[in-house]
């Protein structure tokens, strides 16, 4: 369950009920309008992959600078003008200098790896020790220029990537209010879904999802506590990988939960996501949740890409996914048929039926861990806010700008919590992490399964700043999020141009296994379609 759902409901009840939207909800008799500008599909780098960009630089058809310039112009044309996606909260003023440096290295015979010279957008809750702020979309954190890079940003630079800029997000990673609208922040405003512009691209890594889908960058990075990588990836027609908690470092990332937080790749293909996943994995002694150095992950996940990787595999079909809306169910059944045609065996399972208590306790865990983590982050941050209490007070004093549509009751609930030694917290975290891990592992082992599958989530919500987000019918992010287990989503199909993804979930550090499954499904189905910037479903 995504945070916007359990904040409102406090449980996983109702995940299979499709609730009508307060604006144009897709129904069988509704159609879509044309795009804002048909020429948007003529962008030279549309749907380009990392391999193709490397080939273009290798044969000198392009340089990193010329590629970076094209993406910067694309941001001007699509994000700031035209459809005005509003996905990029800040362009990196040093992007072209970074590109020039990588071109110079290439000219001297040095290529660092597959990310050398590749433009990447990162979410605005990830520290960069440069001329960009890190604010989690909050006006309260304006002026927060980090003292140093987050560990994964250091890894990006080490790999030779060009940091193109930072993306907008649901403010405080969608952990501010029970009535929030995903993809809105007080600093960045509202981001749009590039498929249908009156829809939001889901939270909280909304800007990364919208930007990568609209070809504003080669690849993007999001962060997730529960659903914030896989959900925006799903509704924006992307591949998203939420790694096992501990595979990627969290140091230098504005936190919500030490037990559930992780950053991860968002890309248009499984291969590109796998390239980024391997490049940024690495042991960080400053993150106590990291796996130990001697058990480091593979440096190259692309070796697990196998178009025949479904043959002989056993997949658990989540029961609740067959009880959802008829449109989602049809796409899921079509995906199951593809999986079977490639040699996979299906077994019915019931994950959600066994983790009800975990669903009730998750929000409690996040409230405690958010207060503890944010206070620690702000105590060393380069901004005026030094505690969560300071943020709450700032928002009250600047209510017209900071809280024009929804308030901060979630921040206030977190502020009331005690420390992480409180019995309420200890009991709740045991019920979420331990129970969910036990349920997933037992289902996998008892049924000899390679992964569990389900639709990732429902179709994109309409943007509604008055009423906030509504229940879009389904979410399968909760089990892997609470367990801290790996989760990949791959495009599964469309309903009235609205994408939806197929999820593969497995046990701890089985990224290789789900990448194999996701890639084989991707190659068999080929469901990724670039957005047309449709104005509205009418």
Q: Which residues are catalytic?
A: 123, 204, 228
Residue with tokens 């990988």: 241
Pairing of strands 219-224, 498-505: unpaired
Pairing of strands 262-267, 219-224: antiparallel
| DSSP-assigned letter for residue 295 | G
Separation between Cα atoms, residue 531 and residue 201, nearest integer Å: 12
- The strands making up 487-495's β-sheet, listed across from edge to edge, are 88-91, 162-167, 119-123, 219-224, 262-267, 239-242, 487-495, 498-505, 451-455, 314-318, 345-349
| DSSP-assigned letter for residue 430 | I
Beta-ladder partners of 189: 185
On the CB side of 320, CA atoms within 13 Å amount to 27
Beta-ladder partners of 494: 499
Q: How far is CA 148 from the centre of its chain?
A: 23
Residue 476 contacts residue 11 (beta carbons within 8 Å)? no
Separation between Cα atoms, residue 81 and residue 74, nearest integer Å: 10
Selection from 352, 318, 262 nearest residue 452 by Cα? 318
The tokens of 471 are what? 């229940």
* SS3 letters across 157-201: HHHCCEEEEEECCCHHHHCCCCCCCCCEECCCEECCCCCECCECC
């Amino acid at each position: 369950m995504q945070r916007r759902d359990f904040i409102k409901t406090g449980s996983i009840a109702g995940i299979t009920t499709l609730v009508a939207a307060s604006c144009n909800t897709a129904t069988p008799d509704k159609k879509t309008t044309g795009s804002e500008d048909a020429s948007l599909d003529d962008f030279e780098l549309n749907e380009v992959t990392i391999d193709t960009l490397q080939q273009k630089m290798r044969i000198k058809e392009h340089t990193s600078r010329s590629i970076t310039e094209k993406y910067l112009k694309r941001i001007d044309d699509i994000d700031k003008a035209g459809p005005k996606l509003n996905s990029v909260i800040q362009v990196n003023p040093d992007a072209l200098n970074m590109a020039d440096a990588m071109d110079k290295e290439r000219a001297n015979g040095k290529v660092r790896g597959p990310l050398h010279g590749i433009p990447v957008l990162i979410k605005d809750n990830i520290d960069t020790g440069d001329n960009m702020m890190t604010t989690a979309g909050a006006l309260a954190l304006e002026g927060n220029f980090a003292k140093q890079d987050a560990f994964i940003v250091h890894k990006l630079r080490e790999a030779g990537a060009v940091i193109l800029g930072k993306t907008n997000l649901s403010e405080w990673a969608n952990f501010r209010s029970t009535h929030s609208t995903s993809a809105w922040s007080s600093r960045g405003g509202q981001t749009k879904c590039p498929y249908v512009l009156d829809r939001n691209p889901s939270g909280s890594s909304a800007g990364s999802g919208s930007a990568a889908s609209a070809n504003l960058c080669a690849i993007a990075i999001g962060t997730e506590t529960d659903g914030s990588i896989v959900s925006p990836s799903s509704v924006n027609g992307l591949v998203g990988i939420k790694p096992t908690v501990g595979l990627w470092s969290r140091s230098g990332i504005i936190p919500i939960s030490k037990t559930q937080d992780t950053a991860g790749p968002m890309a248009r293909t499984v291969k590109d996501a796998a390239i980024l996943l391997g490049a940024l994995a690495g042991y960080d002694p400053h993150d106590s949740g990291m796996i130990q150095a001697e058990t480091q992950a593979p440096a190259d996940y692309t070796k697990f890409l196998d178009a025949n990787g479904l043959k002989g595999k056993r997949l658990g079909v989540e029961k609740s996914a067959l009880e959802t809306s008829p449109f989602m169910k049809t796409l899921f059944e079509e995906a199951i048929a593809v999986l079977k045609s490639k040699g996979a065996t299906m077994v019915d399972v019931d994950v959600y039926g066994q983790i009800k208590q975990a669903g009730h306790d998750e929000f409690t865990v996040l409230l405690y861990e958010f207060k503890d983590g944010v206070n620690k982050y702000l105590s060393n941050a380069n901004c005026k806010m030094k505690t969560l209490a300071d943020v709450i007070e700032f928002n009250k004093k600047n209510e017209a700008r900071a809280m024009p549509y929804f308030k901060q009751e979630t921040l206030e609930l977190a502020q009331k919590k005690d420390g992480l030694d409180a019995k309420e917290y200890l009991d709740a975290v045991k019920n979420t992490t331990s129970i969910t891990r036990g349920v997933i592992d037992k289902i996998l082992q008892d049924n000899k399964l390679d992964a569990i599958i389900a639709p990732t989530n429902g179709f994109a919500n309409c943007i509604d700043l008055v009423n906030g987000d509504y229940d879009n019918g389904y979410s399968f992010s909760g089990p892997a999020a609470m367990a801290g287990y790996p989760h990949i989503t791959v495009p599964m199909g469309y309903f009235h141009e609205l994408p939806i993804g197929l999820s593969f979930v497995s046990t701890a550090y089985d990224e290789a296994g789900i990448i194999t499954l996701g890639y084989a499904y991707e190659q068999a189905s080929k469901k990724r379609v670039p957005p047309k910037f449709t104005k509205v479903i009418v």
